[in-house]
C-alpha cells in the first residue's frame, strides 16, 4: 500500500470505475482504453500521472496478448510501432511543459478527434502508402507522449479499411503495446515517471483483465456495423464528457 500513498480514496474509486469501462471497450473493439481512460484519470490525477498510469496498464494487458498480435498483426503495425518509439519522447516533454488545465483540454480534444475520424466512410482493403503510414506513426508517437493516446491516428488507419476485424484489432493492439513501452521509457528518461504510479497500475490491472475479458466475449456476438457504431458512440461520449467537465 505504500506505493499508493498520495492517492485519495476518491481518486482510486474513479480510476477503478473508469478502468473497467475502458477495458471493456478495448476488449470489444480492440482500442479505446487510452482514449477513454486518460481524459477521466486526468480529471483526478495530473495529466502526466494519467498518461503514465495508462501506459503501465496498456503494457501489462498487451504483454498478456502478445501471441495473438504476432499471429494476426499486419506488417505495417511494426513500421508504425517503430516510428512511435522515435517520436514519443518529444510529445511527453511537451506535456510536462504544458499547464495542467490546458493539457486536460488538449487531451479531451484529442479524444474528440478520434470520434470524428471514426465517422469517415470505410476505404478498400488496400494498405495505405508509405507517406500515410509514416505520418500515422509520427502522429501516433507524438500523441502517445502528450496524451497517452496513440489511437486517434491509428484507429482510422485500420478500422477505416475493409480488412478482417481480427487483423485490425491485432495490429492496433500491437502498436498500443509498443507505444506503452515507449511512453514509460520516455517518462523514465526525462525524470517524470513516479513509481507510485506502478502501484496504482498494479492495483487496477485485475480490473483491466475483467473488463477486457467481458468485452472480448461480447465482441464475437456483434456485427461489424454494430461494432463501429458502438465505438463511435463511446468515443464521442467520452470526449464530450471530458469537455463538459473542463467547462464547469
Express each pLDDT in 44-85 by its tens digit.
788 888 889 989 999 999 999 899 988 999 999 999 999 999
Percent of the chain with pLDDT over 90: 21
Helix 47-64 × helix 33-44 angle, to 10°: 150
The yes-or-no verdict on residue 108 having pLDDT over 80 is: no
**Higher-scoring residue by pLDDT: 35, 146:** 146
Positive/negative CA dihedral, 185, 146, 235, 130: negative
pLDDT given for residue 6 in this prediction = 59
The yes-or-no verdict on residue 27 having pLDDT over 80 is: yes
pLDDT band at 248 (very low <50, low <70, confident <90, very high): low
pLDDT band at 184 (very low <50, low <70, confident <90, very high): very high
* CA distances to 11, 28, 123, 136, 237 from 39, in Å: 13, 20, 29, 22, 12
Contact 11, 135 (CB under 8 A): no
Stated pTM of the model: 0.79
The yes-or-no verdict on residue 234 having pLDDT over 70 is: no
Contact 29, 223 (CB under 8 A): no
Q: What is the DSSP letter of 3?
A: G
Cβ neighbours of 18 (radius 10 Å): 24
Amino acid at each position: 500500500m505504500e506505493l499508493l500513498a498520495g492517492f485519495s480514496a476518491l481518486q482510486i474509486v474513479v480510476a477503478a470505475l473508469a478502468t473497467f469501462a475502458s477495458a471493456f471497450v478495448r476488449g470489444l473493439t480492440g482500442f479505446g482504453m487510452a482514449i477513454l481512460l486518460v481524459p477521466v484519470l486526468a480529471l483526478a490525477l495530473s495529466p502526466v500521472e494519467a498518461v503514465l498510469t495508462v501506459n503501465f496498464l496498456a503494457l501489462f494487458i498487451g504483454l498478456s496478448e502478445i501471441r495473438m498480435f504476432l499471429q494476426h498483426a499486419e506488417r505495417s503495425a511494426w513500421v508504425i510501432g517503430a516510428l512511435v518509439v522515435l517520436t514519443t519522447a518529444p510529445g511527453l516533454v511537451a506535456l510536462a511543459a504544458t499547464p495542467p488545465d490546458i493539457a486536460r483540454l488538449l487531451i479531451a480534444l484529442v479524444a474528440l478527434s478520434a470520434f470524428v475520424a471514426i465517422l469517415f466512410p470505410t476505404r478498400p482493403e488496400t494498405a495505405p502508402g508509405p507517406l500515410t503510414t509514416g505520418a500515422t506513426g509520427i502522429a501516433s508517437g507524438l500523441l502517445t507522449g502528450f496524451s497517452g493516446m496513440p489511437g486517434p491516428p491509428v484507429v482510422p488507419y485500420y478500422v477505416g479499411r475493409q480488412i478482417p476485424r481480427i487483423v485490425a484489432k491485432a495490429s492496433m493492439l500491437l502498436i498500443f503495446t509498443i507505444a506503452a513501452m515507449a511512453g514509460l521509457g520516455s517518462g523514465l528518461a526525462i525524470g517524470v515517471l513516479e513509481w507510485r504510479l506502478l502501484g496504482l497500475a498494479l492495483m487496477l490491472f485485475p480490473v483491466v483483465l475483467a473488463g477486457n475479458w467481458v468485452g472480448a466475449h461480447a465482441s464475437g456476438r456483434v456485427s461489424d456495423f454494430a461494432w463501429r457504431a458502438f465505438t463511435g458512440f463511446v468515443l464521442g461520449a467520452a470526449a464530450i464528457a471530458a469537455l463538459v467537465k473542463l467547462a464547469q
